[in-house]
């Protein structure tokens, strides 16, 4: 019996009779036995501990932080459950590591876009194209040399072929167009704009002037406001290029329906920035035509 229990027991037994009485001592002894028997019923059973020789050490080294981790946690299972390999090269899943930037990876993504142009029926193909476009754009943003590599591998031709393979020319408005098609077109135009901004972009694009102008004309006021702004931005960069080819390009733009569509953009564009870019492009084209007709 613990000390507090004995103290309480003595206080209770002392209330009946004086401490010096023999009857009190007998009565206290009897009550103590009964009190101890009652406490024994409520005492929890003692657990038998194993011998020290039978215990296996769970910590091999006190200096290792991994030795004191929870035994129920398995790092290998955690990586496998999240799509990662247990090897050191964890590049299978975006959760583990991003795709390495290299010539082979760029060529693989461009090959995916080129092959997917012939598959225009499946939603999976559209998702693969959108993923490849996003990856290429991220690579070109992170490294300027990747943009030149994409151009040398035929990225401009592939993007123009991809933009012409979309069925957006068959719809009367952007509202009827599926969201996947709109997003894919916007990503393709965004990547094309980035490639044009590189050192080798404009000279390479000028080699496909006719196809580029006809492609951008279809996307103007047909896909979305974002696509319209991207088309105008691309045309501004090409028409402003300091080369002599830019004069011929601007003249070719003025002979298409692009000028008339730019006037419509000035009237219906929801953003003031789009209207300003449309006015800038009209002014550049007009100035280039004047310089072309009246060379100094």
User: Is 254 or 69 the better-scoring residue by pLDDT?
Assistant: 254
pLDDT of 67 higher than 70:
no
Asked whether residue 168 is assigned to any structural domain, the reply reads yes
Which pLDDT tens digit goes with each residue over 170-224? 444 455 567 878 888 999 999 999 999 887 778 888 889 999 999 999 999 888 9
Q: Which of 121-125, 162-166, 232-236 has the lowest mean pLDDT?
A: 121-125
| Domains of the chain: total | 1
Q: Which of 76-85, 130-139, 233-242 has the lowest mean pLDDT?
A: 76-85
**CATH number of the domain encompassing residue 207:** 1.25.10.10
- pTM metric for this prediction: 0.62
Give the per-residue pLDDT at 244.
86
Instruction: Give the model's confidence band at 279: pLDDT under 50 very low, under 70 low, under 90 confident, else very high.
Output: very high
Both structure tokens of 280? 């800038």
**Taking residues 2-26, what's their average pLDDT?**
56
Asked whether residue 80 is assigned to any structural domain, the reply reads no
Q: Find out whether 251 and 291 touch, Cβ atoms under 8 Å.
A: no
Domain that residue 153 falls in: 103-293
Specify whether the backbone of 186 is left (phi greater than 0), alpha (psi in -120 to 50) or beta: alpha
Asked whether residue 36 is assigned to any structural domain, the reply reads no
Which is it for the CA torsion 256, 260, 263, 267, positive or negative? Answer: negative
pLDDT of 290 higher than 60:
yes
Give the per-residue pLDDT at 137.
94
Residues 6+ apart with CB under 8 A from 97: 90, 91
Phi and psi at residue 183, to the nearest 5° = -65, -40
The mean pLDDT of the chain is 73
Asked whether residue 70 is assigned to any structural domain, the reply reads no
User: Is 53 or 163 the better-scoring residue by pLDDT?
Assistant: 163
**Taking residues 130-135, what's their average pLDDT?**
91
Give the per-residue pLDDT at 181.
80
Query: Which of 219, 207, 212, 293 lies closest to 261, judged by CA?
Result: 219
Asked whether residue 141 is assigned to any structural domain, the reply reads yes
Give the per-residue pLDDT at 258.
94
Asked whether residue 178 is assigned to any structural domain, the reply reads yes
Which pLDDT tens digit goes with each residue over 15-26? 544 455 566 666
Residue 140, Cβ density class (10 Å: 0-12 exposed, 13-18 middle, ≥19 buried): buried
d(C-alpha 239, C-alpha 212), whole Å: 13
User: Is 68 or 50 the better-scoring residue by pLDDT?
Assistant: 50
Query: Which of 127, 114, 112 lies closest to 180, judged by CA?
Result: 127
**Taking residues 262-289, what's their average pLDDT?**
93
d(C-alpha 127, C-alpha 211), whole Å: 25
Q: Which of 22-31, 62-71, 121-130, 171-180 has the lowest mean pLDDT?
A: 62-71
pLDDT of 101 higher than 60:
no
Query: Which of 202, 227, 204 lies closest to 217, judged by CA?
Result: 227
Asked whether residue 11 is assigned to any structural domain, the reply reads no
Asked whether residue 268 is assigned to any structural domain, the reply reads yes
Q: Find out whether 224 and 175 touch, Cβ atoms under 8 Å.
A: no
Give the per-residue pLDDT at 214.
94
**Taking residues 216-242, what's their average pLDDT?**
93
**Taking residues 97-108, what's their average pLDDT?**
62
Query: Which of 182, 174, 277 lies closest to 232, judged by CA?
Result: 277
Q: Which of 25-29, 114-118, 147-151, 286-290 has the lowest mean pLDDT?
A: 25-29
Give the per-residue pLDDT at 133.
93
């Amino acid at each position: 019996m613990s000390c507090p229990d004995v103290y309480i027991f003595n206080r209770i037994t002392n209330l009946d009779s004086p401490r010096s009485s023999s009857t009190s001592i007998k009565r206290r002894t009897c009550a103590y036995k009964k009190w101890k028997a009652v406490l024994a019923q409520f005492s929890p059973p003692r657990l038998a501990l194993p011998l020290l020789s039978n215990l296996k050490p769970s910590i091999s080294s006190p200096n290792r932080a991994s030795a004191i981790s929870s035994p129920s946690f398995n790092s290998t299972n955690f990586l496998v459950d999240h799509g990662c390999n247990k090897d050191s090269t964890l590049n299978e899943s975006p959760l583990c590591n991003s795709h390495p930037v290299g010539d082979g990876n760029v060529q693989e993504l461009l090959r995916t876009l080129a092959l997917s142009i012939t598959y225009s029926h499946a939603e999976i193909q559209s998702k693969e194209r959108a993923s490849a476009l996003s990856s290429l754009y991220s690579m070109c943003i992170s490294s300027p040399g990747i943009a030149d590599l994409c151009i040398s591998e035929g990225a401009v031709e592939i993007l123009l072929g991809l933009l012409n393979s979309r069925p957006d020319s068959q719809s009367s408005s952007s509202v009827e167009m599926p969201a996947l098609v709109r997003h894919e077109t916007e990503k393709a135009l965004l990547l094309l704009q980035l490639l044009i901004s590189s050192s080798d972009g404009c000279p390479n694009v000028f080699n496909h002037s006719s196809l580029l102008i006809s492609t951008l004309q279809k996307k103007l006021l047909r896909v979305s406001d974002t696509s319209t702004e991207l088309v105008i931005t691309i045309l501004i960069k090409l028409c402003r290029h300091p080369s002599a080819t830019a004069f011929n390009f601007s003249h070719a733009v003025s002979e298409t329906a692009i000028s008339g569509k730019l006037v419509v953009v000035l009237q219906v564009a929801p953003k003031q920035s789009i209207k300003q870019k449309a006015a800038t492009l009209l002014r550049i084209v007009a100035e280039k035509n004047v310089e072309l007709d009246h060379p100094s």
